[in-house]
Amino acid sequence: MSEKATSVWERSRRMAAREIFDTAIRLFTTQGYEETTVAQIAREAGVSQRTLFRYFGTKEDLVCGDQDALGELLRKTVEEQPPEVSAWDALRAGFTVLLTANHPIEETLVLSRLIFTTPALTARYTEKRLRWKADLIPVVRARLGAHGRTGPAADHAARTIIAVCFACVDAASESWVASGGEADPAALYDASLALIHTP
């Protein structure tokens, strides 16, 4: 396949995926996630269910996206921060990148609202994030080691820092959704972390 043909094919593929995504989110937000079937999404997007599943592996993926890819992006971003950056700041940089990794901030707000108000999506979101945390442990432990903390204490510190940062992300995300997107999610995260650090 020529480079031009590949480009046209890829552009067509992205357009088809976008049409499916837009249709799904419109239906989810107007009639509810549980009330919307894959068959309805496919029909209104003008594709077969088989085609829909080729672009999005599951119904949950239409909202949550490729969580494995997002987890890898988070891990890589944290890992690539300069050596002098603390584990806390490296994780903050990673979460900041994730905020608009796949969607504009306005769409991220809509998707976050769906995730936090739909039990099936919340469960999927939580399940994948457990893997994110596990993948981050060696990265954060290595950063702590570079700052002089090693051994079992570093393992415990890495797990603790990751758990605290994820809790702050959750609190900030929920407050951001509750504000209707008016608040700054990064500022909310910093405020949550400041509460943790306050004696």
Based on the domain organization, do 186 and 104 belong to the same domain? Answer: yes
What is the count of structural domains for the chain? 2
Based on the domain organization, do 67 and 98 belong to the same domain? Answer: yes
The pLDDT score that the predictor gives to residue 11 is: 80
Based on the domain organization, do 75 and 92 belong to the same domain? Answer: yes
Based on the domain organization, do 67 and 53 belong to the same domain? Answer: no
Based on the domain organization, do 55 and 68 belong to the same domain? Answer: no
The pLDDT score that the predictor gives to residue 160 is: 95
Nearest to 161 by CA among 129, 198, 133: 133
Based on the domain organization, do 15 and 52 belong to the same domain? Answer: yes
Based on the domain organization, do 130 and 88 belong to the same domain? Answer: yes
Q: With a cut of 50, which residues of the chain have pLDDT below it?
A: 1
DSSP letter string, 65-106: --HHHHHHHHHHHHHTS-TTS-HHHHHHHHHHHHHTSSS-HH
Based on the domain organization, do 88 and 177 belong to the same domain? Answer: yes
The pLDDT score that the predictor gives to residue 113 is: 94
Based on the domain organization, do 91 and 18 belong to the same domain? Answer: no
CATH number at residue 181: 1.10.357.10
The pLDDT score that the predictor gives to residue 199 is: 58
The pLDDT score that the predictor gives to residue 45 is: 94
Domain ranges, residue 43: 3-59
The pLDDT score that the predictor gives to residue 6 is: 58
Based on the domain organization, do 96 and 45 belong to the same domain? Answer: no
CA dihedral 12, 15, 19, 24 (to 10 degrees): 110
Based on the domain organization, do 130 and 79 belong to the same domain? Answer: yes
